[in-house]
Amino acid sequence: MSSPTAAPRPATDIDRLAIDTIRTLSMDAVEAAKSGHPGTPMALAPVAYTVWSEFLRYDPADPTWPNRDRFVLSCGHASMLLYSLIHLAGIRRGGPASADHRTPAVSLDEIKRFRQLDSVCAGHPEHHMTGGIETTTGPLGQGCGNSVGMAMASRWLGAHYNRPGHTVFDFDTYVLCSDGDLMEGVAAEAASIAGHLKLANLCWIYDDNSITIEGETHLAFAEDVAKRFEGLGWRIQHVSDANDAAQLRKALLAFKAEQEKPTLVIVKSVIGYGAPKKAGSHESHGSPLGAEEIKGAKTAYGWPADAQFLVPPEVPERFAATLGVRGRQAHETWQKTVADYSKSHADLAAELKNFLDGRLPTGWDKGIPCFPADPKGLASRVSSGKVIQGLSAGVPWFLGGSADLAPSTMTLVPGAGDFGPGDYAARNFHFGIREHGMASACNGMALSGLRPYCATFFVFLDYLKPALRLSALGHLGVIYVLTHDSIGLGEDGPTHQPIEQLATARAVPGLSVFRPGDANEVAETYGVVMQRADRPAVIVLSRQNIPTLDRANLGSAAGTAKGAYILKEASGGKPDCILIGTGSEVQICLDAAAKLAEAGVQARVVSMPSWDLFEAQEAAYRESVLPAAVTARVACEAACGFGWDKWIGPRGTFIGMHSFGASGPAPALYKHFGITADAVAAAAKKLVAG
């Protein structure tokens, strides 16, 4: 674990000036916006300043330096605290080689436009739009979960790439979190994972101010947080006053020295510190203070009462002399280490360069299998497992695991080891029955450059949905391997049979959803997904076997890359109707087409594994697959029909689920709910007849 390069020192006038600058910038920005949360930035300014000025290893000239320490503001409502820090630290919008390097990540003008349209100072921090922000936070607890993934990534990267005399990765992660964060279940799941994995490179700083939106926390929160985290395997440090720099340093130095446990620093603070009327009140948590209250607070700080957005020049200079110098020196040392690395570790150095450049290795896809035609076929979860194993051989940083369901989701890679304190270089991750914490941690891993996958049953999409939404919002290439995709899982019954989950996933902007129809569509799906590191994907897979199609007389599975394609053309190329299927129902559509042909009705069968990819194609291609003139369309999917009108049109018919499922063998369930080739064929005949 890295150590601070500067010895602890007593607080000085310049320290107090810097802290009060953070406070007043936060107050002024919230007041100008007439919206926001000034209380927490005011209270936590000394804490954040101490971390940044004395401990954080970060180069403001290059916010993407891979071995920088991470600072996560999990209590994202306190966003002005982070924007003030980024501005005062002089963080650039991009690295030295970037065209944006001369542009500050957060200028004073941007702070003046806090919470306004097109400002980089959004209401809650968004990492993809503002340099210096490590992750998108706001939904409470998510930053905590992300930080665990970052700490896991640091451990994995260090174990995989570090060699004696060459430390390439050893970054630490600091988190500011609130009462609200620690009430959320995702933070509890993530904390449990971190304690179990002994992530001593992780430090959560808990702002124990006893205030939430509704009022004092005793209304709903009376637990002993320290005892809870002790039980989870964390080291506990107490700081009785957020303004006591000496106590803060002592706690953070203890974190730096800790080798076995993550650290929780419990800091007592007074929300809205310095505001004469609203100090200690929940009102300053979620609303502007007002002009008179701000003047009173500034007077209490010894600040010019009428000054707005005042930044004394000594303050940026102080950040440059502390954070800036320390970060630049550490970055230069790291650059030399990486340059020297290739001399003694040429193969690893070449691999490392691909990783740092965000480039897949040459031949990354050679291990993806091509599956022979097989009428019996494979469950798509099984073919997915084979593809994952093939990709693991070609992409070292492609790794992940399951929420205690690896034997069922087929995500275990033989010989890859089990990630944990005994083997941080292993690539099988065991998240336990913590779907939400798993997904949030995978976001943190993706933010650290890894390509993580996580797995559970599709019905438990509901347990991880908030983290998945942030994957999409943040453009994070997390791969969600979600199996047991329909009533086809059978006897476990309606509690485990997804009905509305496909519609839920498809509704998320920026998320790709795939439901492949056979093993080769599975292989093509992964080929597409792996090349899109800036877009998350949900891959929905069957429990039951589905035939591996004989492509000799059918469309190529390569059509998967376009989202939908003609799988079987109607005789003569002029269809009377179009049958559209996904997943296991593709075979039902093929069987229905054969029945229709016997009756003299010519049907085109379209496999549509990904709505969003198909929608992204040029209009001419979409028209070639689903010509507007053919209005007799039947879609078949063992899920609810929400959204299918877009593809089948006003005359079309949907064959699928209109209720929850039931317990019983899969074939009996498909017959019971009318999801059969006969039903599809009958619906098509009716439409063709007009």
Q: Give rounded-to-5 percent helix, strand, coil for the chain.
A: 45, 15, 40
Of the residues 54, 435, 521, 585, which is catalytic?
A: 435
Residue 411's identity, in one-letter code, is T
410-to-414, 454, 485, 523 alpha-carbon distances in Å: 11, 11, 14, 14
- What are φ and ψ of residue 207, in 5° steps? -80, 95
Q: List all residues 6 or more positions away from 72 whose beta carbon is below 8 Å from its beta carbon.
A: 134, 135, 137, 143, 144, 146, 147, 150, 173, 174, 175, 176
Which token pair is 401?
């695991």
Q: How many helices (H) and strands (E) does the chain have?
A: 26, 20
Q: List all residues 6 or more positions away from 376 whose beta carbon is below 8 Å from its beta carbon.
A: 545, 547
Q: Strands 603-607, 565-568: parallel, antiparallel or unpaired by DSSP?
A: antiparallel
User: Would residue 189 show up in a list of annotated catalytic residues for this protein?
Assistant: no
**Residues, the chain, total?**
690
What stretches of 34-178 show up as alpha helix (H) in DSSP? 39-50, 79-89, 108-112, 142-161
Q: List all residues 6 or more positions away from 428 whose beta carbon is below 8 Å from its beta carbon.
A: 399, 401, 406, 411, 412, 413, 416, 417, 418, 419
DSSP states of 237-301 as a string? EEES-TT-HHHHHHHHHHHHH-SSS-EEEEEE--TTTT-TTTTTSTHHHHS---HHHHHHHHHHH
Q: Strands 173-178, 70-73: parallel, antiparallel or unpaired by DSSP?
A: parallel
Residue pair 26/326 in contact (Cβ under 8 Å)? The answer is no
Please tell me the distance from the alpha carbon of residue 384 to that of residue 391, in angstroms, as a whole number.
10
- What are φ and ψ of residue 203, in 5° steps? -130, 115
According to DSSP, the residues that pair with 216 across neighbouring strands are 211
Other CB atoms within a 10 A radius of the CB of residue 553 amount to: 8
Q: Which residues are catalytic?
A: 435
